[in-house]
A and B are shown apart, each in its own frame.
Chain A
């Protein structure tokens, strides 16, 4: 079974801090994704990566950056945390879209509170 591990389940930070959310997958997947989940809005894509050192903006990249130095690890960075970034953050991985259109595999999420 694919395992996607997010380093923290709950995190509390202060406004203006630089925040790092880490995600590791163990199935050698090329694609990795960061979403935020807010009630009534579903999942919104922040960034995704289809290869090491490659990244693409999603629908809501403002205030975030990402890093993918190794295939198994995809980090989300909040450059200067603000209260409107309080949310549930979900990491996911998948095989490339052309390979049978496999589904995404999700971590258990990080519930981030910015005070």
Chain B
């Protein structure tokens, strides 16, 4: 069965510091992995995806994610956090050939000025 774990409910970071939001997954076959961001009272917005190829994926707003097959992880990173990055972040996974995308419970990111 597919599953996604985001082990941190909340991540706090100071503006200008690097940030990491963690995600681990379990899926049969090769994974398709996604990160989404949700701002207050809005739907989810797509940030980036890993399908195949380079383990470091670059996405919107300066975010990137590192795919690690041996650790079944797909951590979201940004070299220098902005206050405007404060939001709810969701990791998601879909197995090869599957319809369903499984979402993690979400991690709330607070960036302090």
Contacts and interface: CB of A to CB of B under 8 A. Distances in A.
A58 B2 CA distance: 14
B41 to A, nearest CB: 7
A42 B100 contact: no
Tell me if B's interface is mostly helix, strand, loop or mixed.
loop
A41 interface: yes
Given A58-B100, A101-B94, A90 B32 contact: no
Interface of B: 9, 32, 34, 36, 41-46, 49, 51, 90, 94, 97-101, 103-106
Given A42-B105, A103-B49, A104-B44, 17 more contacts: A35-B103, A42-B90, A42-B104, A42-B106, A43-B90, A43-B103, A45-B101, A50-B99, A90-B44, A92-B43, A101-B49, A101-B94, A105-B46, A106-B44, A106-B45, A109-B41, A109-B42
